[in-house]
């Protein structure tokens, strides 16, 4: 093969690769908008036997209320589907919290995985949506991926306020040029006010973070517990979410005070680590075991909780925190505020 023939074949290969890439990009650009589900209360995004559903509550986004989204993935027998972190896939929302549940194996061999999200709508957002995300499906040693369609959540338009017919008096109203200048001035004032508010919020956030970081373990635990109680989760029926956050308050306290990686351990692993740690008395271990195992019954075993049970669990958490903080700090404990 001479050099001219090689250049011709190389050019043909590059052109075919370029054309193939263009066709794939065009196909994806056409497919996703067509799959978009507007005003979705239940959206089915599954493919090839893998079920991916998105449920939203309430029916429409209200900036004055929290918005709840549940993502359910059902893998058929012989396959295992997984999702990426969807935290950066929500548009027009601030993510308040996510509560992943343990996978549930069904009788037919399928597996169901549920993750619940509590979102705070941004008042000035033009659209509220869940952007496309990648679903990874593993079957044996083979792994495949596919993109879901975007989900657009309904946002009712603002109601028009009719105050009656208004006649324009040329002698009284400003000329068009003056109205334009007024609009420009208002725009500048709003921009300046927005920058000032943003700076104030950032400074306030930094001050709060510094103040929290300087707290002792017990002060920070009580601060987190008070913030949790202000959410009023049990009163709204979110008992599982409440128990998840309540146990994490206690676990983070133990991590900061006794240098035990409690948030990363299961209940059984943590109790074994506590038994082997001289910072925990047998009475403290027994108290933690009762508290954590009763919380696990609500979080994982599906036990129906009541407001009275939530109050009792809160009292147990407070009693443990106060009792433990009154004990002398062990030599293995972290210094005050040393663990973020």
Q: 251-286, pLDDT tens digit by residue?
A: 898 888 888 877 778 888 888 888 888 888 888 888
74, β-bridge pairs: 51, 112
Share of the chain above pLDDT 70, in %: 77
Question: Strand, coil or helix: what is 125?
Answer: coil
Q: 114-141, pLDDT tens digit by residue?
A: 999 899 999 888 888 888 888 888 888 8
Q: 72-93, pLDDT tens digit by residue?
A: 999 888 888 888 888 888 998 9
CA distances from 42 to 72, 73, 97, 141, 285 (A): 11, 13, 21, 32, 45
Token digits of residue 257: 């005070």
Tokens 């009762």 — which residue? 290
* CA 52/CA 107 separation, integer angstroms: 19
* Residues with Cβ within 8 Å of residue 57, at least 6 apart in sequence: 41, 67, 68, 69, 70
pTM of the model: 0.38
Quick one: pLDDT at residue 86?
87
For the chain, which residues make up each domain, given as ranges?
A: 37-153, 177-213, 217-326
Q: For residue 189, is pLDDT > 70?
A: yes
* CA 23/CA 16 separation, integer angstroms: 11
Q: What number does CATH give the domain 37-153?
A: 2.60.40
């Amino acid at each position: 093969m001479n050099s001219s023939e090689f250049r011709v074949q190389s050019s043909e290969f590059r052109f075919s690769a370029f054309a193939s890439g263009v066709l794939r990009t065009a196909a994806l650009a056409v497919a996703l908008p067509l799959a978009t589900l507007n005003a979705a209360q239940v959206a089915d995004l599954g493919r090839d036997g893998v079920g991916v559903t998105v449920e939203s509550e309430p029916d429409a986004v209200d900036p004055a209320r929290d918005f709840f989204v549940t993502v359910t993935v059902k893998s058929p027998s012989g396959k295992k589907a997984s999702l990426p972190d969807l935290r950066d896939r929500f548009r027009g929302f601030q993510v308040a919290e996510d509560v992943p549940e343990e996978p549930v194996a069904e009788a037919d061999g399928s597996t169901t995985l549920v993750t619940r999200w509590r979102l705070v709508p941004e008042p000035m957002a033009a659209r509220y949506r869940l952007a496309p995300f990648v679903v990874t499906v593993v079957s044996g040693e083979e792994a495949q991926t596919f993109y879901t369609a975007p989900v657009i959540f309904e946002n009712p338009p603002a109601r028009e306020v009719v105050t009656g017919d208004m006649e324009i008096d040329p002698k009284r109203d400003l000329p068009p040029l003056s109205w334009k200048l007024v609009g420009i001035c208002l725009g500048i004032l709003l921009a300046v006010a927005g920058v000032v508010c943003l700076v104030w919020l950032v400074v306030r956030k930094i001050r709060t973070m510094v103040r929290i970081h300087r707290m002792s373990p017990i002060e920070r635990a009580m601060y987190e517990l008070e913030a949790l109680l202000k959410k009023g989760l049990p009163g709204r029926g979110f008992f599982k979410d409440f128990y998840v956050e309540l146990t994490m308050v206690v676990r983070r306290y133990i991590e900061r005070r006794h240098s035990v990686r409690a948030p990363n351990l299961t209940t059984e692993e943590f109790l074994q680590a506590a038994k082997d740690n001289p910072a925990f008395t047998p009475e403290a271990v027994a108290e933690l075991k009762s508290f954590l195992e009763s919380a696990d019954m609500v979080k994982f075993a599906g036990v129906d909780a009541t407001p009275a049970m939530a109050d009792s669990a809160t009292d147990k958490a407070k009693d443990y925190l106060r009792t433990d903080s009154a004990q002398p700090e062990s030599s293995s404990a972290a210094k005050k505020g040393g663990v973020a």
